Structure 1
Amino acid sequence: MQEKTVTTTKKYPDKPITLIVPFGVGGGTDLVARLLEKSAPIYLGQPLVIVNKPGAAGALGWNELAGAAPDGYTLGITGAEILLQPLYGQTKYHYPTALEPIAQITESPQMIAVLSSQPWQNLNDLIAYAKQHPGQLKFGHAGIGSMNHVVGESFAENANIQIEQVPYQSAAEVMASLLGGHTQIAVTTAALGKEQMKSGIVRLIAIGSGQRSTDPVFANVPTFKEQGVNIVDRGWFGIAAPKDLPIEVKNKLSNGFKAMINDPDFKKNIESLGLEVKYLDPKESAERWLDDGEKLTKTVQETGVLDKIKSQKK
């Protein structure tokens, strides 16, 4: 593996910063990145240049991020998938150790969405239908091994039903597939379900958080656990950089993103997406990576989801 070279400058940053989004345009990670893009010149002193690199449930984008020079000019949006991908087999980089967190921005529990024209009012209705029609229902997700894929497969295992998975490259494609009738279930984040739910086109029938959302739009959406399905999803969005950033660059980024994420207007815009700001600094983010890594490893192994996804990736 080639050694990374670091270009030092007298003042960081003195040019635009690339932000890799490892999923397609219009998905939750992309929407969060676009909000960061608006605030970056104020808080970082340079613009963020968004580059979408979808594919392999985030792995293509994170490979590029991990292989970039640790000079602060290439950053990436991260999610729990950086912890999941190495579990499925050999990856080009071991993301939890090849990357270092700069900040956690928000939590993003997964939700199960169906069209309002469908008869299913809750998970029990959906489970009963799936048992009567094994293998006929399809659920869309943002790539093999993505967090919403894991939640979808965990739901099927928990409920003892057969539903077919259909991978896409972004949550926006997942929602488009649901709206087009190509799939009957979408496992997605609140950011993609909110507008369709408000319009009445989509019905959200389960949320993966430990308790109901404080967002008025989602207040009546029951959790999985309320409906007898033992799933608590700990999804999140964050910012990471290649390992071994110079300390002064890391501090500049950490301070800039902290101020940006805690800005009242940024918070308001995040909440308008149906997400909740949950800022963590680099140290707290690193601790969460370790904690979630252990929990997710246990979950996918004990439920059999790990073996299922490994076979689907072949």
Structure 2
Amino acid sequence: MKKRTHLARAALAAALGLTAAAAAQAAGYPDKPITVVVPYSAGGGADNAARIIAQGMAETSGQSVVIENKGGASGSIGAAYVARANPDGYTVLYDASAFAINPALRKLPYDAKKDFIPVSQAVSVPNILVAAPGSAFGSLSDFIKAAKDQPNHYTYASYGPGSLAQMAAELLKKDTGIKAIHVPYKGGAPAIVDVMGGQVDVYFANAASSLNYVTGGKLKALAVSSSRRMPELPDVPTVAESGVKNFDVVEWNGFFLPAGAPPEVVARLQDVVQKALARPETREKLGKLGLTPVGSSAADFARFVDEEQTRWAEVVKANNIQVN
């Protein structure tokens, strides 16, 4: 009996020692470089934003912040890598809207709800429903009427199956009852080229990649996907203003930690991200890409991600969306 008591006390002491050590380590966080995993290719929208924010994070934390690209499978390869990482706060996921869409479309090697801790939404950016400059559609209402008159005659582009560009169009179909054909591309650049040329009728293009084409007259903007008009396009109505009630879709990026990260580390990383996004230099650089800095709390971001996952799961089910 005494032996068991001694063993129990030893186990408790060891556990308390580990807890104290973890707490001490968390209190000094960060005391070495942080690796931010971007699960998309270098040079893309998420990667560009992450590199800008990483500069600000390095300034506010006093530690270098290294970007590591692990692209593939709509971000799920990089996300799986972070899910398996040591939850000490030094391996961080910087993901996008696909994080909330993937669970409804793909069999994933991780649980998006249980294997990650949302830390902070970094940025948001609306999509612009664009058409060719010479398109017969002068507004979203024109497109909806035409699509109702001729079901499955008109086409919409996306930068890949399961992308937010596709999901925005699928939500539009769900809310209006129209039928149109999805034309997926391997990236936004080729999609924009074909929309410009009239090979595809419309495209919910990321504002960061399409705004210059709109203002330069190479694309026609029919509507903006967010609940508010873009300051850069004050004369372009929102989808909701065009008659599709409560339509509000934005692309977003945010920071996640592996499940098990100490609360102190989550709070500290949240603070580092928020301070980085508050820097005038960071905000200016992001603004030039058409991105709006957010810097939400971990609690608010967790609620937002949960709402996004529920929303897109409903759209996937209602429209019977599948990806190969």
Structure 1 residue aligned with 2:228:
211
Alignment of 1:235-314 (within 5 A): 235-301=251-317, 304-305=318-319, 307=320, 309-310=321-322, 313-314=323-324
Question: Do residues 146 (structure 1) and 189 (structure 2) align?
Answer: no
Question: Do residues 194 (structure 1) and 207 (structure 2) align?
Answer: no
Alignment of 1:86-101 (within 5 A): 86-101=103-118
* Aligned mates of 1:266, 1:258 — CA distance in 2: 11
Whichever residue aligns with residue 276 of structure 2, its letter is M
* Aligned mates of 2:189, 2:91 — CA distance in 1: 25
1:79-125, Cα deviation, whole Å (9 max, x unpaired):
33322222235321121221111211122233212222323221122
| SS of residue paired to 2:175 | helix
Contact 1:112 1:205 (8 Å CA) reproduced: yes
Compute the displacement of 1:198 (Å).
2.0
Whichever residue aligns with residue 266 of structure 1, its letter is T
1:190-224, Cα deviation, whole Å (9 max, x unpaired):
211221122221122111222322x2x22122111
1:240-282, Cα deviation, whole Å (9 max, x unpaired):
1211113443333222111001112222222222232222111
Contact 2:35 2:66 (8 Å CA) reproduced: yes
Question: Do residues 113 (structure 1) and 135 (structure 2) align?
Answer: no
Whichever residue aligns with residue 86 of structure 2, its letter is A
Contact 2:174 2:315 (8 Å CA) reproduced: no
Identical-pair percentage: 27
Aligned length in residues: 300
* Aligned mates of 1:253, 1:177 — CA distance in 2: 41
Question: Do residues 158 (structure 1) and 175 (structure 2) align?
Answer: yes
* Aligned mates of 1:227, 1:248 — CA distance in 2: 46
1:138-179, Cα deviation, whole Å (9 max, x unpaired):
322233222221111222343443322233454445434434
Report the aligned-residue RMSD.
Answer: 2.8
Whichever residue aligns with residue 239 of structure 2, its letter is F
Question: Do residues 56 (structure 1) and 73 (structure 2) align?
Answer: yes
* Aligned mates of 2:194, 2:29 — CA distance in 1: 43
* Aligned mates of 1:100, 1:12 — CA distance in 2: 17
Question: Do residues 224 (structure 1) and 264 (structure 2) align?
Answer: no
| SS of residue paired to 1:239 | strand
* Aligned mates of 2:182, 2:67 — CA distance in 1: 29
Runs of 5+ unmatched residues, structure 2: 1-21
Contact 1:143 1:169 (8 Å CA) reproduced: yes
Change (3 A) 1:51 1:187: farther
1:76 to 93, 98, 105: 93
* Aligned mates of 2:217, 2:39 — CA distance in 1: 30
Question: Do residues 39 (structure 1) and 28 (structure 2) align?
Answer: no
Contact 1:82 1:95 (8 Å CA) reproduced: yes
* Aligned mates of 2:135, 2:116 — CA distance in 1: 43
TM-score (norm 2): 0.80
Contact 2:135 2:198 (8 Å CA) reproduced: no
Compute the displacement of 1:133 (Å).
5.7
TM-score (norm 1): 0.83
Compute the displacement of 1:131 (Å).
4.9
Contact 1:135 1:164 (8 Å CA) reproduced: yes
Change (3 A) 1:291 1:134: closer
